Each structure stands twice: as structure tokens, then as C-alpha cells.
């Protein structure tokens, strides 16, 4: 029942009016706190490979992550998460580091999409990018064998690169540890979306070098 209800809420939370209604209630903060705790418990319970993808527990957790992604896709949702639910953002960053390459890729993608959506808000991008170990986490995630995971990592990297105020603070660490060969390989990927994202990032990096 919980999985079905959350999956239904995930679907309707793509509506701005629904997101505003969720945030307008007095249980919003509690909901996002419980969401973070549930996702954390789920990841800790994983033993090697992910459980059956169609299990109720998986669907419940994926739906919770999907709701966060949809909330973060709306301006007022991003603002709420950045101002009132930073613990959830910290949890997402931690869980992305806890999951092994190739493990639970659907959850990874949803969490990365959430972070990318939050990064559209400058305050959100600053908060995420100043998280300890953020740059090494990005490069580690780029080693994931799943193309969609890598695609959303590249989108998040591009958010950092394209915001001068944010990039200037991490430029030295960014450049010294950049997995250039990995990104070059992605720019020749057979996956057209991954290929395009990698090519665009390389062009952005070249432009920065020219401006330096």
C-alpha cells in the first residue's frame, strides 16, 4: 500500500500546484526528513547486488527519491530543500558515495537528478559544491558502468563549470583531478545523450582554459 501510494504521489508531484500543496502543509519538513532516513536505511540494507527491482520496498524508495526529484524541479521546491531540508541533501550526497559502481543505478540516477535540479538554484549549487569531498565524489561516480548515471554526473559537473562564482572556489582541485581520459571516452560513446553531454563539457572546459 505504501509503495502504491508513494508511486501515485511521485506521478502527480510533477505538477507545480501539487508541489506547492505538499510544501504548504505543516508536514513537509517531516516528510523529507523521513524520506532521507528511509533512503539511508535502504542503502545500508543492501548486501552486494540490489534487491529485486520490482519489489515493494524498492518501488517505495524509488518513489520517494522520485518525489524529491520532482519537488527540486520546481523553483519553490528547490528553495525549500536548500533552506529547510539540507539534511536530506547531505544524505543524498552521502548515499551516492556509499553505493558501489553499478549498484542500484535507478536510485543513483534519481538522486543525481535531484542534485542537478537543486543546482539550478545558485544557493543550492553553492551548498552542494561546498560539501566535503564533492569533487572526488563526482569523479568516482564517473567510473560507474551505467551510462545514465554518468550522463547525470556530467550534467552536475557542467552546472559547477558554468557558474564562475562556484567554479572559482574549486577550480584548482577540479583541474588537478579531472578524469579527462574518461570524459574523452564518453565523448565517443555510442549512447548519443552521453556523447553529447561529454562533448559539451569538453567544449566548456576548453573555453575556460582560453579565458584563463
Most confident of 4-18, 43-57, 155-169: 155-169
CATH number of 1-131: 1.25.10
The model scores a pTM over 0.85: yes
Note the pLDDT of residue 104: 92
Where does the pLDDT of residue 5 fall: very low under 50, low under 70, confident under 90, or very high at 90 and above?
A: confident
Q: CA 39, CA 58: separation in Å to the nearest integer?
A: 10
**pLDDT, tens digit (0-9, with 9 covering 90-100), for 42-54:** 999 887 655 556 6
Note the pLDDT of residue 57: 83
Note the pLDDT of residue 145: 96
**pLDDT, tens digit (0-9, with 9 covering 90-100), for 53-105:** 668 888 899 999 999 999 999 999 999 999 999 999 999 999 999 999 999 99
**pLDDT, tens digit (0-9, with 9 covering 90-100), for 174-199:** 999 999 999 999 999 999 999 999 99
Note the pLDDT of residue 187: 98
Note the pLDDT of residue 48: 61
Note the pLDDT of residue 86: 96
First to last CA, the chain: 56
**pLDDT, tens digit (0-9, with 9 covering 90-100), for 117-157:** 999 999 999 999 999 999 999 999 999 999 999 999 999 99
From 24-28, 34-38, 196-200, the region with the lowest mean pLDDT:
24-28
Q: With a cut of 70, say whether residue 19 has pLDDT above it.
A: yes
Domain residue ranges in the chain: 1-131, 134-211
Share of the chain above pLDDT 70, in %: 94
Amino acid at each position: 500500500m505504501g509503495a502504491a501510494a508513494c508511486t501515485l504521489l511521485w506521478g502527480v508531484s510533477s505538477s507545480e500546484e501539487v508541489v506547492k500543496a505538499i510544501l504548504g502543509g505543516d508536514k513537509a519538513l517531516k516528510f523529507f526528513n523521513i524520506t532521507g532516513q528511509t533512503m539511508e536505511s535502504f542503502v545500508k540494507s543492501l548486501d552486494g547486488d540490489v534487491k529485486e527491482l520490482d519489489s515493494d520496498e524498492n518501488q517505495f524508495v524509488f518513489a520517494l527519491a522520485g518525489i524529491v526529484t520532482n519537488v527540486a524541479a520546481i523553483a519553490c521546491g528547490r528553495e525549500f530543500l536548500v533552506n529547510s531540508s539540507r539534511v536530506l541533501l547531505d544524505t543524498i550526497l552521502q548515499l551516492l558515495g556509499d553505493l558501489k559502481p553499478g549498484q542500484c543505478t535507478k536510485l543513483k540516477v534519481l538522486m543525481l537528478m535531484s542534485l542537478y535540479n537543486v543546482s539550478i538554484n545558485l544557493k543550492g549549487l553553492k551548498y552542494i559544491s561546498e560539501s566535503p569531498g564533492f569533487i572526488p565524489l563526482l569523479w568516482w561516480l564517473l567510473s560507474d558502468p551505467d551510462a545514465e548515471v554518468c550522463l547525470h554526473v556530467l550534467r552536475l559537473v557542467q552546472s559547477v563549470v558554468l557558474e564562475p562564482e562556484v567554479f572559482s572556489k574549486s577550480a584548482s582541485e577540479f583541474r588537478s583531478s579531472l578524469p579527462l581520459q574518461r570524459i574523452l571516452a564518453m565523448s565517443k560513446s555510442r549512447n548519443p545523450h552521453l556523447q553529447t553531454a561529454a562533448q559539451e563539457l569538453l567544449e566548456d572546459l576548453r573555453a575556460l582554459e582560453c579565458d584563463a
